[in-house]
Structure 1
Amino acid sequence: MHDEFNDPQWRQVLSGAQMLFVAFGALVLMPLITGMDPNVALFTAGVGTLLFQAVTGRQVPVFLASSFAFIAPILAAKGEFGLPAVLGGIVASGLVYILLSMVVRVKGAGFIDRLLPPVVIAPVIISIGLALSPVAVNMAMGKAGDGSAQLVPYETAMLISMSALISTVLVASLGRGLLRLVPILAGIIVGCTVAAFCGVIDTSNIATAPWLALPAFVTPELHWGAILYIVPVALAPAIEHIGGVVAIGSVTGKNFVRKPGLHRTLLGDGLATSAAGLFGGPPNTTYAEVTGAVMLTKSYNPKIMTWAAVFAIGLAFIGKFGTALQSIPVPVMGGILCLLFGSIAVVGLNTLIRHQVDLSEARNLIIVSVTLVFGIGGMVIGNSEFALSGISLCAICALLLNLILPGGQGWQNKALTDEPTP
C-alpha cells in the first residue's frame, strides 16, 4: 500500500503547490471584495496555517485562509470606522476562538453543542449569505457593492459577470478530478478573458508594479464599535471550524476532535485569525475545497500544508502578482459571488436538515424566524451613540433566545461535533 507520509520531498512540494492552487480563488476573492490587499491575505493565510500546525503538532492536514463569513460585518464596520478599526475587530475575533478553546479544554466539546446548537448557528449562516446578495447583484451589474456608482456599463458588465458565473457553475457541476475543485479560479480566468476582450481590464498598473514588494501591511486599532460589529459573527465560523475538523477526520479516518483535540484546533484557528488582523489581513478559516482535494488525491500528510503555506507567503512578496489580482474587474467578482453567497445560505439550510432540527416546535421556529428577519431585514437596536445591526445583531439574538427560551433538548440527538448521517 502506498504510504504518502514517506513520499519524497519533491512530491510533497508539488502537492503543497496543488493545495494552494485549489484554495487560491476563494483566498484572494474575499480581500478583493472587502478592499484589503490580496498579497497580505496570502501572507496571513500562510502564517496562519503554520501557526495552526505548530499548535496542533502538525497532525491535521488543513489549510487556513480568508473566511467569507466575515464579509458583511467587515464591509459595514469599514465604512463606519475604517480598516484599522476593522482589523482590531478581527484580532478580537481570534481571541474569541482562543477563549472557546480554553472552555472546551475544561468543559469538553459538548459545551459547544449546548451553547451553539444547529438551531442557533443555521439561521445566522443563512442570514450571512442572503444579507450579502445585494452586494453580489450590484457587482454583477457593474456597480459598486453598495450600488452607489456604475463602474462598468450595464450591458458589458452582464456579459462579463454571466460568463464568469456560467463557467464557475459548469466546472463545479461537470468538472472531473482536481478541475472540479477549482471552479472559482476557472470563473475568474474566463471572466477576465471576456473582460479583456471587452476592454475593461487596465494592465498599465501591472506593467509599472515592481516584481518584488512588501505586502501593504496595516496596523490595527482598538475601537469598541468595530469590535462589536465583528466579534458576534465569529460564532458562525467557529462552528464552521468544527465542521471542517470533523470532515477532514472523516476523510483521513482519524478523530481529530479527540487528538490533537478540538481545544487545540480552535486555539490554532484563533491564533491564525488574530495574527491576520495584526498584519492587516482577513480572518482565517479551514477550507472545504482543500479538504476535498485531500480526499481526491489521498494526500493525508500534514507536511503538504506546510509547503502550501510557504508558497502562499512567497507569492505575497511578488508585487506584480498582487497588482494583477487587484485589476480583476468588479463584474467578474459579482458573477461568481452570485453563486458563492447563495451557497453560504444553502450551508445554513443544510445544517438544519442534516441535524434534523424540528421547525414545527415553537422554540425552534421562534429562534430561526426572529434571527432571519433581524439579520436580513436590517433591524437596528440602539441609538446614535451605540447600535447593533445586521449579522452581529442576529447572532446575539439567536444566542440569547437559545439561552432564554425553555426546552431545547431535542438538538442533543444530532450535535455539531457528531458525524451527521447522510
Structure 2
Amino acid sequence: MFGILKQAISGAQILFVAFGALVLVPLLTGLNPAMALLGAGVGTLVFQWLTGRQVPIFLGSSFAFIGPIIVAMQAWGQGATQFGLIVAGLMYFIVAGLIKWRGMGFITKLLPPVVIGPVIMVIGLSVAVAASGMAMGQGGGKQLVPYETSLLLAAISLATTIIVAVFAGGMLRLVPILSGVIVGYIAAAALGVVDVSGVMAAPWFAFPHWVAPQVNWAAALFMLPVAIAPTIEHIGAVMAVGKVTGQDYTVQPGLHRTLSGDGIGVCFAGLVGGPPITTYSEVTGALMITRNFNAVIMSWAAVLAVTLAFFGKFNAILTSIPLPVMGGIMVLLFGTIASIGLKTLIDARVDLMAPRNLVIVSVVLTCGIGGLTLKLGDFSLAGVGLVSVLAIVLNLILPPARSHDGIPEGQDI
C-alpha cells in the first residue's frame, strides 16, 4: 500500500512539473484546458500501453502547434481545426513506418538540421505579434485590459518566469511557466483584473464540453506538415531520456512504437478538442533530479490529469487567467522556440556561408515570418506547413553544400 502511495505522489510531482506548459497551450489558442488534461492523460496511458510501459515519458501539450492552431481557428473554426490535428497525427505514423522500413539514416537525410532548424524558428517567430498584442492587453483587435495595467502584469509574469528559470534550483527550476502564471494571477487579482464570476458559477464536477471535429481538407493539409518538427523533437526526446536512464529506447521498444504511441495521442487529442501532445523536457529534468525511472509514475500522472479534467471550478480558474499574464509568458515562450531552432543549426554546425544552406534558411524564414500563402483554386498552404514543404523540396533538389576547401560537407579528407 505504501509503495502505491509513493508512486501516486511521484506521479503528482510529474504532473506538477508538466502542468504549466500543459494548460498554457489551450489557454493561448482558445481550446478547452479540460480537454488538454484529458488528451494528455489518455494519450500518455495509450503511449505507455503501446510501449510496454518501458519508457518514462509523459506527453503534454505541444508548443509547436500554437501558431498553426491560432491561424486555423480564425480561418476555419474549431471543428475543422480539430480535424486538421487528427490528420496531423498521421505524420507520426508515416515517420514511424519510414524508420521501421529504412532506419534513421533515411529520416536524417530527408530532414537534416538545415530543414528542421529554420522551420522551428518560424514556429516561434510567426506568432510573435500575437504575443506582444496579448502582453499589451489586446485581443480580437480590441483593448480588453487597460494598456498600463497590461504591461505591468505582463512584466510581472515575464520577470517571475525568467527569475525561476535562471536562478531557481531543484524542482522549482522545472516549473518557470507555472510560477509565472501563479504570481501574475495573484498580481492581477490584487489589481482587480480577474473576473471570478465564472469560477463562482462553475460546478465542482462537470464533463468537459466537447466540440465535434468537422471534415475540412484545407485545414488538414495546413496542419499535416506542421507535425514534421514535433516528430523529430520526439526522436530527440526519446534519445535524451535514454541517456538519463541508461537505456536505448530506440532499439527496445523502438522508435516506431514510441512514435506510434505519440501519434495515437495526437489523434485522440484532436478528436476531443485538446492540443496535440508531445514529450516534455521538463519531465526529463525531473527524472534527472529524482532518479526515479519507473514508468509507472507516468501512468499515475496521466490518471491524475484525467481526473482534473472533470473538476469544473478548477478549469474555470484556468480560463479566468487575464490576457496580459499569458502574454508576458508568451513573449519568452515564442522566443525560446525560435532559439531552439537556432540551436539546431548551431549544434549541427550548418555552414551558412554555403549558398545551398543560405538559400534554404533564408527562404524558409522570409516566407514563414512574412506570411506567404500559396493558393491553387480552393487549396491554400501557408505558415509552418508551407515552409516545411519548401524546406524539404529545396533540400532534395539543391546540390550538396561544399565547405570552403571544396570538399562536400560531412565528408572527411
Q: Which TM-score band applies after superposition, normalised by the shorter structure?
A: over 0.9
Q: Report the Cα offset of residue 96 of structure 1.
A: 1.3
Q: Alpha-carbon deviation of 1:114? A: 1.2
CA drift at 1:246: 1.1
1:404 is aligned to 2:401: no
Is 2:6 aligned against 1:38?
Answer: no
2:124 match: 129
1:371 alignment partner AA: V
Q: Determine which of 72, 84, 93 is the counterpart of 2:67.
A: 72
Residue in structure 1 matched with residue 142 of structure 2 by the alignment? 149
Percent identity of paired positions between Structure 1 and Structure 2:
54
Query: What are the within-5 Å matches in structure 2 for residues 98-137 of structure 1?
Result: 98-137=93-132
Matching of residue 296 in structure 1 with residue 292 in structure 2: no
Report the Cα offset of residue 385 of structure 1: 2.3
Shift of 1:13: 0.8
- Secondary structure of 1:8's aligned partner: helix
**C-alpha contact 1:245 1:256 (8 A) present in aligned 2:** yes
Structure 1 unaligned residues grouped into runs of 5+: 1-5, 414-422
Q: Distance in 1 between matches of 2:185 and 2:329?
A: 12
1:327-338 mapped onto 2 (5 Å cutoff): 327-338=320-331
RMSD: 1.5
Name the aligned partner's letter for residue 14 of structure 2.
M
User: Does 249-258 or 172-181 show the bigger shift?
Assistant: 249-258
Q: CA deviation at 1:161?
A: 0.7
CA distance in 1, matches of 2:116, 2:397: 16
**CA offsets per residue over residues 19-70 of structure 1, 9 Å max, x none?**
0000000100100111011001000000000111111111110110110101
How far apart are residue 128 of structure 1 and its match?
0.9
1:386 Cα deviation after fit: 2.3
2:276 corresponds in structure 1 to 283
In the alignment of these two chains, the number of paired residues is 406
Residues 1:60 and 2:73 are matched in the alignment: no
How far apart are residue 382 of structure 1 and its match? 1.5
Task: Say yes or no: does 1:363 pair with 2:334.
Answer: no
Q: Which residue of structure 2 lines up, in the alignment, with residue 47 of structure 1?
A: 42
- Paired residues of 1:355 and 1:411 also in contact (CA < 8 A): no
Residue equivalent to 1:251 = 244
Contact 2:158 2:328 in 1 (8 A): yes
Equivalent position to 2:260, from 262, 267, 278:
267
Are the structure 2 counterparts of residues 411 and 102 from structure 1 closer, same or farther at C-alpha, using a change threshold of 3 Å? farther
Q: How does 1:187-202 map to 2 (within 5 A)?
A: 187-202=180-195
1:14 corresponds to 2:9: yes
Question: What is the alpha-carbon distance in structure 2 between the residues aligned to residue 238 and residue 408 of structure 1?
Answer: 25
Cα distance in 1 for partners of 2:83, 2:338 equals: 27
TM-score scaled by length of structure 2: 0.96
What is aligned with 1:420? none
Give yes or no for contact 1:118–1:411 (8 Å, CA) kept in 2. no
Q: Distance in 1 between matches of 2:90 and 2:383?
A: 22
Name the stretch that deviates more: 168-177 or 378-387.
378-387
**Counterpart of 1:388 in 2: which secondary structure?**
strand
> Which residues of 2 match residues 322-401 of structure 1 at below 5 A?
322-383=315-376, 385-401=378-394
Deviations 1:204-262 (A, max 9, x none): 11111101100112221211110111111110111111111111111111111111111
Aligned equivalents of 2:324, 2:263: Cα separation in 1: 33
User: Letter of the aligned partner of 1:265 in structure 2?
Assistant: T
Query: Secondary structure in 1 aligned to 2:374?
Result: strand
Matched residue SS, 1:211: coil
Report the equivalent of 1:229. Answer: 222
Contact 1:244/1:286 (CA < 8 Å) preserved in 2? yes
**Map of 2:162 onto structure 1:** 169
Amino acid in the other structure paired with 1:54: W
Instruction: Tell me which of 300, 306, 313 is aligned to 1:307.
Output: 300
Please say if residues 20 and 308 of structure 1, whose CA atoms lie closer than 8 Å, have aligned partners that are also in contact. Answer: yes
Distance verdict in 2 for CA 1:51–1:170, change over 3 Å: same
1:356, CA displacement in angstroms?
1.5
How many angstroms apart in 2 are the aligned matches of 1:405 and 1:23?
41
What does the per-residue CA deviation read over 1:391-416, in whole Å, with 9 as the maximum and x for residues that have no partner?
A: 21111110111111122696768xxx
The structure-2 alpha-carbon separation of the partners of 1:234 and 1:313, relative to structure 1 and needing over 3 Å to count, comes to: same
Distance 1:319 1:195, change over 3 A: same
Aligned amino acid, residue 342 of structure 2: L
Matches of 2:107 and 2:401, distance apart in 1 = 14
- 1:24 equivalent in alignment to 2:13: no
Q: Please say if residues 357 and 411 of structure 1, whose CA atoms lie closer than 8 Å, have aligned partners that are also in contact.
A: no
